[in-house]
Amino acid sequence: MSTILTENGVRKMDEGDPLATYRDQFYLPKDVVYLDGNSLGAAPKAAFDELETAAKTEWADQLIRSWRGADWWVLGEKLGNQLAELIGAGPDQVTVCDTTSINIYKALHAALSLRPDRSVILTEAEGFPTDSYIAEGVQSVRDRTELRLEDLDEDTIEDYLDETVAVVLINHIDYRSASVRNMKAITEKIHAAGAIAVWDLCHSAGIYPVDLEAANADFAAGCTYKYLNGGPGSPAFIYAAKRHHGSFSQPLSGWWGHVEPFAFEPNYTGDTGIRRLLCGTQPILSMRALKASLDMYDTVDMAAVRKKSQSLTSLFIDLVDQECDGLGVTVISPRDADARGSQVSLAHGNGAAIVHALTERGVIGGFREPNVMRFGFAPLYLTHHDVWLSVAHLKEVLETEAWREDRFNAAGKIS
């Protein structure tokens, strides 16, 4: 950074923003700068209309007829096809269902079923914990299955791949640092070793132009309540490459995944398509809230989202460098915008208290142990001026050491 950034100069960065009109499509509390969309996205206004229609008309008036009349029965696949456009998947390869953890459980079992002569699940030692927890659960119910936790990246992954590895589970964007992995290069290395690639897209979907088909990924899963703004607990999604349809098995063999669910046969025969990854009845109301956001995304240019994301996060880093130098914070996210997702993480020994102090001032971020302050930047509803305001508050909290107040240090955990 060679020039001094000013508030007026930052305001000019918002002029001509092609995404500016989307901000008004969200409920945003007054005097709040919301930098936690990487944990829970803001509420689209249209979600409440969707919920009202689903509850008052389709449920209350139409009752069970809405399973067919309102397309509830195929809603997961319809949403999956909308979402597929955002993650580079072809039609009928994505469905919305269940939770990320459940979908990873299914994907790992599916991958193992495709490599019956291999026994090892390889995943990250420092990835988001649900991935390794679920992998442990898969290991616990399978004979002769081994779990290996390693430091996986493009430069290291080949060190851990051998003829025993059946499946590799890896995050596309790291939840702590926001480092972006080269999906295509890593998948090629996994395939060269004869293994199956399962990608966790929780911090990618809706914010980064993922291309699963170009990367030749096998399976992927992710949540919809972060950058996709589906609402708290909104259902997750799962992807299975078309080449694997009809070939894999997964243990949650509920009736929704049956090839003829209304035949009510005594034995299970899995569907030959993406529905094989379904289990039971899905949360229709939550899905309808998600539909509002995906309908919005149908009109969004993901290249513009990525460009603005890089601009917002780069500005945040530049302002932290300019305004907070010598105040004890360290940028731990990549400084190269191409290597960074839509989050900037700062390290500070009292990070939790600082985030609490910022929240009281209306700047809402997040914290992850042991010392990581996470600030997520959602281009559909944030401005460059929001970034200026957030760093101004951060500087004041650090300079005054307001975070030392007892109430900030006694506050509970932050999601």
In a domain, 43, yes or no: no
Please check whether residues 223 and 340 belong to one and the same domain: no
Domain ends where: 297, 316, 332?
297
Same domain? 122 vs 81: yes
Q: Do residues 228 and 311 both lie within one domain? A: no
Q: Which of 244, 264, 297 is the last residue in one of the domains?
A: 297
Q: Where are the alpha helices (DSSP H) in 235-378?
A: 284-297, 302-323, 351-360
Side-chain-side CA neighbours of 220 within 13 Å: the count stands at: 33
* 216 inside domain: yes
Does residue 42 sit within a domain? no
Q: Report DSSP letters for 18-72, one per residue.
A: TTGGGGGGEE--TT-EE--TTTSPPEEHHHHHHHHIIIIIIITTTGGGHHHHT-G
SS3 at position 122: strand
CA dist list (Å): 378 to 70, 229, 357, 389 = 31, 10, 22, 15
Instruction: Identify which of 100, 109, 110 has the alpha carbon closest to the alpha carbon of residue 223.
Output: 100
Report the CATH number that the domain containing residue 62 is assigned in CATH.
Answer: 3.40.640.10
C-alpha to C-alpha distance for 8 and 28, rounded to whole angstroms: 23
Of 282, 297, 312, the residue that ends a domain is: 297
Of residues 176, 181, 226, 276, which has the active-site annotation? 226
Ranges of the chain whose pLDDT falls below 50? none
CATH of the domain at 318: 3.90.1150.10
User: Which pLDDT score is estimated for 410?
Assistant: 84
- Return the beta strands (E) in 92-241 as ranges: 94-96, 120-124, 146-150, 165-171, 196-200, 219-222, 237-240
408 in active site: no
CB 414 within 8 A of CB 356: yes
Q: Residue 103 falls within a domain, yes or no? A: yes
Q: pLDDT value at position 198?
A: 99
> Which residue range forms the structural domain that includes residue 115?
49-297
Question: From the candidates 175, 225, 227, 377, which is the catalytic residue?
Answer: 225
| One domain for residues 273 and 329 | no
Place of tokens 């299975």: 240
Do 55 and 14 reside in the same domain of the chain?
no
Q: Is 372 left (phi over 0), alpha (psi -120 to 50) or beta?
A: beta
Note whether 203 and 264 are same-domain residues: yes
For the purposes of burial, counting CB atoms within 10 Å of the CB of 232, is it exposed (0-12), middle (13-18) or buried (19 or more)?
Answer: exposed
In a domain, 35, yes or no: no
Among residues 340, 361, 374, 395, the one annotated as catalytic is 374
Q: Is 56 a catalytic residue?
A: no
Residues 240 and 369 in one domain: no
Q: Which of 98, 131, 174, 200 is catalytic?
A: 200
**Would residue 44 count as lying in a domain?**
no
Question: Are 100 and 181 part of one and the same domain?
Answer: yes
Residues 6+ apart with CB under 8 A from 414: 352, 355, 356, 359, 366, 367
| Residue 308 a catalytic site member | no
Per the domain annotation, does 195 fall within a domain?
A: yes
Give pLDDT, residue 415: 57
**0.75 cut: is pTM over it?**
yes
Active site includes 225?
A: yes
Q: Is 128 a catalytic residue?
A: yes
Burial of 196 (0-12, 13-18, 19+ CB in 10 A): buried
Pair 70, 201 in one domain: yes
How many domains does the chain divide into? Answer: 2
Residues 386 and 252 in one domain: no
Looking at the structure, tell me whether residues 78 and 136 fall in a common domain.
Answer: yes
Asked whether residue 364 falls in the same domain as residue 222, the answer is no
Which residue among the candidates 128, 208, 316, 377 is catalytic per the annotation? 128
Please check whether residue 137 lies inside any domain of the structure. Answer: yes
